[in-house]
Amino acid sequence: MKKVKIIICLIALVVIGGLAFVIIKNINTEDKQTLDVSITDEQGKEAKLNLNSDKILVIYFSETGNTQKLAKLISDKVGGDFVRIETEKVYPEDYEKLVDDAKKEKDNNDRPKLKELNINLENYDIIFVGYPIWWYQMPMAMYTFFDNYDFANKTIIPFNTHEGSGSSGTYEDIQKLEPKAKVLEGLPIRGGDMTSDQSNKVDNWLKNLDI
């Protein structure tokens, strides 16, 4: 009987160990996600959709690449200018270290400095703003961004990637940060879904916007 129990325990350990290996492997695969260096800032793109304004900016913050992909997809459809928000500090490439760094920024209410964006908001009427969800809110770099620019009388259209928390109330946060701006319904997409084509979801969202 003892031998049978030992064998069962050994089998259980092997199964658990195998599952742990699969989980760790998946985490490590996600860790290796990086920005696509071929996706760069663009200016004066022609819109594929009929919008009421040609003064459009799509601006985004992304570190693992998911939000970057979504931002590029939106930019290709709405046209205008396309700009990435970057911080002066360099975030860790390792995913777990990035998570820890983001937690420290949140806990300390840090405002990381941004690289020069070379944009003048006076040139735009509609600003699409994208970001990932870090610790159930926008990355602290986005708070720096909203601190640095005046969005009075502008239309802000947020979009974000996440891993289960949706928008996490960030669209309402943006409205509080920019009370003189008009903030429209945003688009949250799960980061893992960006491995497949999200064109239909983006098209439906854009068609239903009040612009």
Mean pLDDT, 10 residues at a time, the chain of 211 residues: 43 38 33 76 86 84 96 96 96 91 93 96 96 96 97 97 94 97 97 94 92 76
pLDDT (0 to 100) of residue 89: 94
Is the CB of residue 137 less than 8 Å from the CB of residue 168? Answer: yes
Q: What is the pLDDT of residue 53?
A: 63
pLDDT of residue 46: 86
Q: Is 149 helix (H, G, I), strand (E, B) or coil?
A: coil
Helices of type H across the chain: 2-31, 66-78, 95-108, 140-148, 170-177, 199-207
| pLDDT at site 49 | 78
b/e per residue, 111-129, with b = 16+ CB within 10 A? ebebeebebebeebbbbbb
Query: How confident is the model at residue 152, as a pLDDT?
Result: 97
Contact of 211 with 126, CB cutoff 8 Å: yes
pLDDT, position 148: 96
What CATH architecture is 35-207? 3-Layer(aba) Sandwich (3.40)
| Residue of 85, 79, 80 whose CA lies nearest to 62 | 85
The tokens for 22 are 């699969």
The predicted structure's pLDDT at residue 50: 73
Q: What pTM was estimated for this model as a whole?
A: 0.82
Q: What is the residue-wise DSSP string for 172-210?
A: HHHHHH-TTSEE---EEEEGGGGGS--HHHHHHHHHTS-
Report the relative pairing of strands 126-132 and 155-162 from DSSP bridges: parallel
